[in-house]
Amino acid sequence: MLISMACPLCCHSERSEESRNLPLHARFRFSLAVFVALAACIVQHRAEALEHSGTIGNVTFAVYAPDWTWQKRDINILVVLENGGAEAAEVALELVFPQGREDHFDYDGERRMSAVVPAGGSGRLAFTNILAVDGVPRQVYDFDVALSSDGRETNVAYAVRTIRGAVVSPGKWALFVPGGLALAWCIVFAFVVARFARPGAWLVPSAPVGEPEKAESWIHQKPR
């Protein structure tokens, strides 16, 4: 039915009738393929994140960070540095939180850090475990990653959006699911034990024993 409706102008009536009479498994495979294609079109979404690159002096930098996060989950910001100069360069970083909304995040790490990148070498710095707390409205937060090196400065704007976090954390699910399954099996085992623990519960009656059928008389005759 789907084939005949999809292309009524390019299929003759005989072919349409043949498509209606396709075997069940063939129609199922076709319907499954159409469903998968539609689902791929619906859920297809480009995963976006902050990927900003630039230069400061002789140092090329790249900033990587997610553009959204769940509440009660961590944000990690990675900065990759590459020194293309002939001398070592010191690069300082500073993470600037959204003004007036710093209490929406729980972060115990350093907000300022620096690294000396050797000539022709590379280095990595990261701000990790920036926890987005719950209990506040979900919104977009504007961070800044400030870089400075050899008297030059530049800022990288970083916007992150928070969405509703999970009601139960994955760590708790890892405890609840095995515990629930174990409890369910214990209940089933208790019912099975109660059922077969009675005396004689495991005995299976055999077929009744009757008299053997009488054999034909000619079987016992001796040849003459």
CA-wise closest residue to 159 among 104, 100, 97: 97
What is the per-residue pLDDT for 42?
A: 44
For residue 24, pLDDT over 60 is answered with: no
What are 30-40's pLDDT values in tens digits? 565 555 555 55
Domain boundaries, the chain: 49-163, 168-195
pLDDT at 187 over 50: yes
Note the pLDDT of residue 211: 58
The residue among 173, 13, 145, 37 whose CA lies nearest residue 81 is: 145
pLDDT for 106: 92
- Beta carbons of 123 and 90 less than 8 angstroms apart: no
Express as a percent the part of the chain with pLDDT over 90: 38
**pLDDT band for position 136 (cuts 50, 70, 90):** confident
Can you tell me the distance from the alpha carbon of 53 to that of 148, in angstroms, rounded to the nearest whole number?
Answer: 14
User: Is residue 145 classed exposed, middle or buried when 0-12, 13-18 and 19+ CB atoms within 10 A define those classes?
Assistant: buried
Report the pLDDT value the prediction gives residue 119, as an integer from 0 to 100: 94
Q: For residue range 62-102, what is the model confidence (pLDDT) as tens digits? A: 999 998 888 888 899 999 999 999 999 999 999 999 999 99
Residue 18 has pLDDT above 50, yes or no: no
How far is residue 125 CA from its own chain's centroid? 27
Residues 102-116 have pLDDT tens digits of 999 999 999 999 999
Domain 49-163 matching CATH 2.60.40.10: the answer reads yes
